[in-house]
Amino acid sequence: MAKDVIIALDFPSREEVFSFLEPFEPPVFVKVGMELFYREGGSIVKELKERGYKVFLDLKLHDIPNTVKSAMANLLDYNPDMVDVHIAGGSHMIEEVSNLINKQEKKPILLGITMLTSTSEERMHKELKIDKSLSLEDTVLSYVEMGLEAGLTGIVCSPLEVPKLKEVFPNLVTVTPGIRMEIVEGDDQERVVTPKRARELGSDYIVVGRPITKAKNPVEAYEKIKKEFLEG
Ligand code: C5P
């Protein structure tokens, strides 16, 4: 299974993205999320791809099956390497997207979002009305099972969830944010791990934002993280 480091391009504009990327040699894998996409539109993805970058287009689609299928058809025109949908959208929605992707000559990896990390077990029971007999972990496992049956290739999850998920679904591709070079109390990412630890836990791709984008020397930070993640 491929392993790589994906840089989260959490910048507000195209100018900042390309000034940040200037010293990097493509093909680096990058992530475009809602903030950047809703500002710059598809042209940012198109431009990144034309310059040789690999792109995870992280827009977490969630709507009725027909709408998500049509929206994804538009996104596929930009030729992303990885896309995602909310598993909560249901099996029919995921199947529509998966069938569409399977018809493409170049198929992006289709990921599912299980439970957002901002949703605690307590909120999951209280607000989403998930049966109280189901733990957060049980719920994530059943979401993944349904998502895989409907055609997902992988999921976005915490590195700490990877061992359990791989035990049950060995072929699942896992993409994991929450990476830090050092573990510091009070980080806004709860449950963070180092690249080395993510490797030991079995993550396939790590998503790294600020430890690279805010580093004094981003290329050096990227190389260090990549080495730690790929070689230990
Ligand atoms: O800067 P940092 O390394 O924390 O960035 C992590 C990236 O991963 C951000 O783009 C963030 O939105 C994304 N992400 C996350 N936690 C999740 C899902 C996505 O941090 N559960």
State whether the beta carbon of 198 lies less than 6 angstroms from ligand 1.
no
Alpha-carbon span 212 to 219, nearest angstrom: 8
State whether the beta carbon of 33 lies less than 6 angstroms from ligand 1.
yes
Ligand 1 pocket mutation, candidates 175, 207, 213, criterion most atoms within 8 A of CB: 207
Task: Kindly report the protein residue whose alpha carbon is nearest to atom 8 of ligand 1.
Answer: 177
In the 3-class helix/strand/coil scheme, how is the chain assigned residue by residue?
Answer: CCCEEEEECCCCCHHHHHHHHCCCCCCCEEEECHHHHHHHCHHHHHHHHHCCCEEEEEEEECCCHHHHHHHHHHHHCCCCCEEEEEHHHCHHHHHHHHHHHHCCCCCCEEEEECCCCCCCHHHHHHCCCCCCCCCHHHHHHHHHHHHHHCCCCEEECCHHHHHHHHHHCCCCEEEECCECCCCCCCCCCCCCECHHHHHHHCCCEEEECHHHHCCCCHHHHHHHHHHHHHHC
The pLDDT value recorded for residue 56 is: 98
Ligand 1 pocket mutation, candidates 6, 7, 9, 10, criterion most atoms within 8 A of CB: 10
The pLDDT value recorded for residue 129 is: 94
CB 62, CB 86: distance < 8 Å: yes
The pLDDT value recorded for residue 117 is: 81
State whether the beta carbon of 91 lies less than 6 angstroms from ligand 1.
no
Task: Kindly report the protein residue whose alpha carbon is nearest to atom 21 of ligand 1.
Answer: 117
Would you give per-residue pLDDT tens digits along the chain (232 residues)?
899 999 999 999 999 999 999 999 999 999 999 999 999 999 999 999 999 999 999 999 999 999 999 999 999 999 999 999 999 999 999 999 999 999 999 999 999 999 888 888 999 999 999 999 999 999 999 999 999 999 999 999 999 999 999 999 999 999 999 999 987 777 777 678 999 999 999 999 999 999 999 999 999 999 999 999 999 7
Radius of gyration of the chain (CA): 17
Tell me if residue 216 is catalytic.
no
State whether the beta carbon of 156 lies less than 6 angstroms from ligand 1.
yes
CA of 115 to the centre of ligand 1 (A): 14
The pLDDT value recorded for residue 186 is: 72
Alpha-carbon span 197 to 175, nearest angstrom: 14
State whether the beta carbon of 119 lies less than 6 angstroms from ligand 1.
no
Query: How far apart, in Å, are the Cα atoms of 231 and each of 3, 25, 161, 199?
Result: 11, 20, 21, 9
State whether the beta carbon of 10 lies less than 6 angstroms from ligand 1.
yes
CA of 101 to the centre of ligand 1 (A): 25
